[in-house]
Structure formats: structure tokens, C-alpha cells
């Protein structure tokens, strides 16, 4: 099933110049970029994005981190993209993440974990709307779909 998900390349990913490396993993898996922009997250955007954490004691640190430097917001599209991307990203705490995952390969921190990935199709829909206007998302077909997907899977995509 074709889905969309939100990826944020967080400030530590940008500061460490890992954006291209991380993005390449998603592209190499076969996902399409349908929206992407470099942006500074404002406290208002962060409060919408992390609404479930606003009243928690760690929120001020989270707010300071996510607004500290630019992020790259990316909307990816593809088959079961939410679940597959979550597996690719790895567990939240980088020091516990499995080798081969993005966090397992590049993060040793508990909080500075390089990447945000939507945790469900419903969250993805809500989060994409926070970071992208509908006209900023582009639907297109990739020329390599024929190599990555079976004929019936291409019809779904």
C-alpha cells in the first residue's frame, strides 16, 4: 500500500553534515521524495509537532534542541513507508539502536538521534500537514519502479 511519511533531519544531523548520507538510504531503498525543504523550526511549529509532549518536564530541552539549528523536512512516499522507515531509522536512543540502522550507525546519544520519522499513518498525515502545504507536495513516478516493484505492486504505487 502506497503511503506517505514525514522525516525530519534534525539539527544534529544537519550540524554533522549527514543529511545526504541519511537521505541516500531512503532513496536507495526505493522511496520517492515528494516534498523537501530546509527550514528553521519555530517554537510554534515545534509545539504543534510535539503536542503530546508540551506538558512533560523534558519539553523545554526538546524545544531548545529542535529550534537550535535548521532541519530538513522530507515527505517520502512508497509502499508501507511508515513501517519500513521506522525500521531503517532504529530505536529512539542511538546508543541502543541496532547497527545497520541510521541511529545505530551514526548516533550515540539518547536525545540527539539525528532523525524523526512518523510512527503511524495517522501521525504521518498530521505531521506532514504541519510542515508542508498541499501544493508543496509533488506526485510522480520513478523510472526505477519497474526494477524495484512487481507489476502488481507498480499498479498500487
Among this protein's residues, is 49 annotated catalytic? no
Of 72, 107, 116, 127, the catalytic one is: 116
CA distance 31 to 20: 15
CA distance 62 to 52: 12
CA distance 127 to 140: 21
CA distance 31 to 89: 14
User: Which residues are catalytically annotated?
Assistant: 116
Amino acid at each position: 500500500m502506497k503511503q506517505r511519511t514525514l522525516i525530519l533531519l534534525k539539527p544534529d544531523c544537519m550540524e554533522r553534515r549527514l543529511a545526504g548520507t541519511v537521505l541516500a538510504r531512503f532513496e536507495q531503498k526505493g522511496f520517492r521524495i515528494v516534498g523537501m525543504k530546509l527550514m528553521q523550526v519555530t517554537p510554534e511549529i515545534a509545539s504543534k509537532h510535539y503536542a503530546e509532549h508540551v506538558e512533560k518536564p523534558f519539553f523545554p530541552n526538546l524545544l531548545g534542541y529542535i529550534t537550535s539549528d535548521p532541519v530538513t523536512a522530507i515527505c517520502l512516499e512508497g509502499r508501507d513507508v511508515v513501517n519500513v522507515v521506522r525500521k531503517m531509522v532504529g530505536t529512539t536512543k542511538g546508543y541502543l539502536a541496532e547497527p545497520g540502522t541510521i541511529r545505530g550507525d551514526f548516533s550515540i546519544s539518547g536525545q540527539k538521534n539525528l532523525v524523526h520519522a512518523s510512527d503511524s499513518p495517522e501521525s504521518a498525515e498530521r505531521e506532514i500537514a504541519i510542515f508542508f502545504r498541499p501544493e508543496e507536495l509533488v506526485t510522480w513516478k520513478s523510472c526505477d519502479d519497474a526494477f524495484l516493484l512487481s507489476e502488481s505492486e507498480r499498479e498500487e504505487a
